[in-house]
Chains A and B, each alone.
Chain A
């Protein structure tokens, strides 16, 4: 059974195996398919139309399944690898070990945002960006520039205390747990972290930065924590909602999996704590 661990607790060997598996997916071309899929959904999910991957109740189960696909791809390279998560409410500065050269590398240089160290730096030659929205082919970051602070644990707790999963109109204007976690409303958790990292993470092609997976693995863990706190409440809506994935409707692009199939993460993996 896969155990997803806090990135801060990984051994040097676990970090190396994770990085090597990611680089192998990149080399084989499989990695860029994930970037492409994400960008297609982010450009087509709209508040007034069909919405599946973002700004909708299925934001959480969609990303859970997307991460499962990616994790299975990693495990096809190295079966010992699991997705780590980044608790950005604790490891909240550019000095965190997450950003060290033996893991994801650090922030970008000021002139052009280019990441200069670590296994994903353009100079290492193993991380060319081919699915992109502009002419630049190198990984960029600007940690803590566009927004100064990552969410605090108190802000996370305030969102976990919201007892309703989601609310009509089931989009970026909704109240409820999902949209406060996604960040279009309230203290802003998930969206703000994308902005804090900067570079490609702030764009529609955000999976170009491997931190995307660690960010979403923690967002996914927060969904599990919310379920533990609110055992009597669950995913909504439960039927007949235009443009929105109801509990028992299948989700694109897989078309064979429903939110109902993804509510219990322990069928697929557990967390270290």
Chain B
């Protein structure tokens, strides 16, 4: 479990409250535009949702063998959530694999709801 400072958590919570009705902040265009995934890179996010830190961001470094989020990754308390983008632009995660949602943030929140406080396990890195 990563350390989340009280200030950081409060800031994230405040930011969440302030932007609750505002459209997702648009992140800068993806660096290496992946020609296999021509869809726009989703917005970066970092918030505390139901007491857990959820983050979404363009992946740093080389793409993971198992990663199919189009170069975007989501973490829950610092553990990567296996994410996948569908052809129509919707998203699923390994926690909710048969029920597409519109954004990676929605997939992360759904995963937190489903986990009910349980730790996410890192998926096999092979």
Contact = CB atoms under 8 A, between A and B. Distances in A.
A202 B118 contact: no
A43 B123 contact: yes
A272 to B, nearest CB: 27
Contacts of A227: none
A133 B123 contact: yes
B98 A134 contact: no
A11 interface: no
B98 A133 contact: no
Most A CB within 10 A of own CB, among B66, B87, B100: B87
Interface residues of B, number: 25
Q: By DSSP majority rule, is chain A's interface helix, strand, loop, or mixed?
A: loop
A172 B120 contact: no
B95 A203 contact: yes
B81 to A, nearest CB: 9
Q: By DSSP majority rule, is chain B's interface helix, strand, loop, or mixed?
A: loop
A246 B8 CA distance: 52
A172 B82 contact: no
Given A113-B116, A134-B119, A136-B118, A183 B68 contact: no
A46 B84 contact: yes
What is the size category of the interface that chain A forms with chain B? Answer: 20 to 34
Given A48-B36, A48-B37, A133 B86 contact: no
A63 interface: no
Nearest to A198: B114
Nearest to B65: A44
B115 interface: yes
B94 A133 contact: yes
Contacts of A112: 116
A40 to B, nearest CB: 8
B86 A184 contact: yes
A209 to B, nearest CB: 13
B3 interface: no
Nearest to A197: B98
Contacts of A155: none
A134 B114 CA distance: 10
A169 B88 CA distance: 12
B95 A49 contact: no
A113 B37 CA distance: 36
16 contacts: A43-B84, A43-B94, A44-B66, A55-B86, A133-B82, A133-B94, A169-B87, A171-B87, A172-B88, A173-B87, A184-B86, A194-B98, A202-B97, A202-B99, A203-B94, A203-B114
Interface of A: 39, 42-44, 46-49, 55, 112-113, 132-136, 146-147, 169, 171-173, 183-184, 190-192, 194-195, 202-206
Interface of B: 36-37, 66, 68, 82, 84-88, 94-100, 114-116, 118-121, 123
Given A43-B94, A43-B123, A204-B97, 14 more contacts: A42-B97, A43-B68, A43-B84, A48-B36, A133-B120, A134-B95, A135-B120, A146-B99, A184-B100, A192-B98, A202-B95, A202-B98, A203-B97, A204-B94
